[in-house]
């Protein structure tokens, strides 16, 4: 019996998730189907109910429904709770479980694929929207020396940092603070992660010069194009990666949650890269 999965989004036509999960299924021999479902803005809960009634086993959730998915989940993983958003739903026994694999995918791409350490490093996370929020707990759990969250709207970064001060999982007492871009002047970081959506619009971030330490690494969550952040980081001497590996790794985490098997990501990443 084929088990059915899907990605829910609006828009969703561009989604690479069906391709990635099809490659995982071939590699692992798992008997699954995976489709794209375009959902009207106010129709998320109804679309999920219909899919579950038809026998759907799980779903990925993309823009703009990650908070709706958070709200319908009866059980939330610690990462989903911390992110305030869900990108992976699992259906079974009349229950909906919600997880968020984005941050774990980011960490795995950095540490395992790219060989970029986080432990003991000074990490700068740019942005304070949904993408940044999902990354904070997984980054803190890697025990960086410090995590600074900087955002164009400084207050949002401060609020995001404060929100993690009270989480028990962060009792590891990693120093984490929030600030505006201007307050970064005179500081430098080993790892700078761009979780803003500026790259989608080809917009530059108004960052002070000098934030990239010698030998630093710049990670852009947007993939498939050279963003102004990547160009500026290269110019400053940093090593640079885009977010395609994070996309594949977050999918592998979801696949492992659903199927209990972790696929090999390297061949899938190489295949996706060749198809860009
Ligand atoms: P996402 O889910 O992709 O994180 P979001 O929640 O809308 O999307 O958040 C977008 C993030 O990108 C925010 O941190 C936003 O900064 P503001 O809070 O100041 O709006 C940031 N962002 C988007 N365009 C930007 C730009 N041109 N320069 C700097 N930051 C930008």
The chain-wide mean pLDDT, for the chain, equals 95
Domain holding 176: CATH number? Answer: 3.40.50.720
Q: Are 216 and 241 in contact (CB under 8 A)?
A: no
Position 171 pLDDT exceeds 80: no
Could you tell me if residue 234 is inside a domain? yes
Q: Which residue has the higher pLDDT, 176 or 135?
A: 135
Sheet holding 146-151, edge to edge: 175-180, 146-151, 122-126, 189-194, 212-220, 239-241
Q: Which domain holds residue 26?
A: 3-100+246-275
| Total number of domains constituting the chain | 2
| Higher local confidence (pLDDT), 255 or 170 | 255
Nearest residue (by CA) to ligand 1, atom 27, is: 198
Residues 164 and 267 in one domain: no
Is the same domain home to 123 and 82?
Answer: no
Residue 214 tokens, joined: 């010698």
> CATH no. for residue 267?
3.40.50.10860
State in Å: Cα 218 to ligand 1 middle.
Answer: 18
Which residue's C-alpha comes closest to atom 25 of ligand 1? 198
Residues 129 and 225 in one domain: yes
Q: Where are the beta strands (DSSP E) in the chain?
A: 3-9, 32-38, 56-61, 75-76, 88-92, 95-99, 122-126, 146-151, 175-180, 189-194, 212-220, 239-241
Q: In what order do the strands lie in the sheet with 88-92?
A: 32-38, 3-9, 56-61, 88-92, 95-99, 75-76
Residues 57 and 131 in one domain: no
Note whether residue 105 is domain-resident: no
237 and 256 within one domain:
no
Pocket of ligand 1 from Cβ distances under 6 Å: 127-132, 151-153, 156, 196-198, 203, 205
Q: Looking at the domain assignment, is residue 149 inside a domain?
A: yes
* 264 φ/ψ sector (left φ>0, alpha ψ -120 to 50, else beta): beta
Ligand 1 test: best mutation among 64, 197, 198, most atoms within 8 Å of CB? 197
Distance of CA 235 from the midpoint of ligand 1 (Å) = 23
| The pLDDT of residue 212 is above 90 | yes
What pLDDT is attached to residue 37?
Answer: 98
How far, in Å, is the centroid of ligand 1 from the Cα of 94? Answer: 36
User: pLDDT tens digits, residue range 64-112?
Assistant: 999 999 999 999 999 999 999 999 999 998 999 999 999 999 999 999 9
Q: What is the pLDDT of residue 165?
A: 78
pLDDT at 119 over 90: yes
What is the average per-residue pLDDT within 245-251? 98
Residues 6+ apart with CB under 8 A from 271: 23
Residue 109 lies in a domain: no
> Does residue 268 lie within any of the structural domains?
yes
* pLDDT for residue 174 is more than 90: no
The answer to the question of residue 108 being in a domain is no
User: What's the CA gap between 85 and 62, in Å, rounded?
Assistant: 10
The backbone region for 243, taken as left when phi is positive above 0, alpha when psi lies in -120 to 50, beta otherwise, is alpha
Residue nearest to atom 8 of ligand 1 (CA): 129
CA of 183 from ligand 1 middle (Å) equals: 17
Report if residue 19 sits inside a domain. Answer: yes
167 CA to centre of ligand 1 in angstroms: 24
Do residues 143 and 40 both lie within one domain? no
Residues 52, 131 share a domain: no
Q: Are residues 210 and 228 in the same domain?
A: yes
Within-domain flag for 65? yes
Tell which atom from ligand 1 comes closest to the C-alpha of 126: 14
pTM for this predicted structure: 0.95
Catalytic residue among 66, 119, 156, 175: 66
Q: Are 106 and 244 in contact (CB under 8 A)?
A: no
Residue whose CA lies nearest to ligand 1 atom number 30: 152
User: What share of the chain in percent tops pLDDT 70?
Assistant: 97
CB 129 within 8 A of CB 159: no
Q: Is 66 a catalytic residue?
A: yes
Give the per-residue pLDDT at 168. Answer: 62
- Pair (130, 233) in one structural domain: yes
């Amino acid at each position: 019996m084929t088990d059915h999965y899907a990605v829910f989004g609006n828009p969703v036509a561009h989604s690479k998730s069906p391709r990635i999960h099809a490659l995982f299924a071939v590699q692992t021999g798992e008997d699954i189907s995976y489709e794209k479902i375009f959902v009207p803005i106010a129709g998320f809960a109804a679309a999920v109910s219909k899919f579950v009634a038809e026998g759907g086993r799980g779903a990925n959730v993309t823009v703009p429904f990650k908070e709706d998915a958070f709200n319908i989940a009866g059980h939330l993983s610690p990462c989903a709770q911390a992110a305030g958003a869900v990108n992976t739903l699992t259906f079974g026994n009349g229950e909906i479980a919600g997880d968020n694999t984005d941050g774990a995918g980011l960490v795995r791409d950095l540490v395992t694929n790219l060989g970029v350490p986080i432990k003991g490093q000074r990490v700068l996370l740019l942005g304070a929207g949904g993408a940044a929020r999902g990354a904070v707990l997984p980054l803190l759990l890697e025990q960086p020396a410090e995590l600074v969250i900087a955002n164009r709207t400084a207050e949002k970064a401060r609020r995001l940092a404060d929100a993690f001060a009270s989480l028990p999982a962060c009792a590891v007492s990693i120093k984490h603070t929030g600030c505006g871009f201007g307050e970064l002047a005179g500081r430098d970081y080993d790892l700078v992660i761009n979780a803003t959506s500026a790259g989608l619009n080809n917009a530059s971030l108004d960052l002070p010069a000098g934030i990239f330490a010698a030998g630093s690494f710049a990670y852009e969550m947007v993939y498939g194009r050279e963003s102004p952040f990547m160009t500026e980081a290269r110019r400053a001497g940093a090593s640079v990666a885009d977010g395609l590996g994070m996309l594949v790794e977050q999918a592998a985490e979801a696949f492992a949650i659903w199927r209990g098997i972790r696929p090999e990501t390297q061949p899938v990443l190489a295949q996706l890269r060749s198809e860009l």
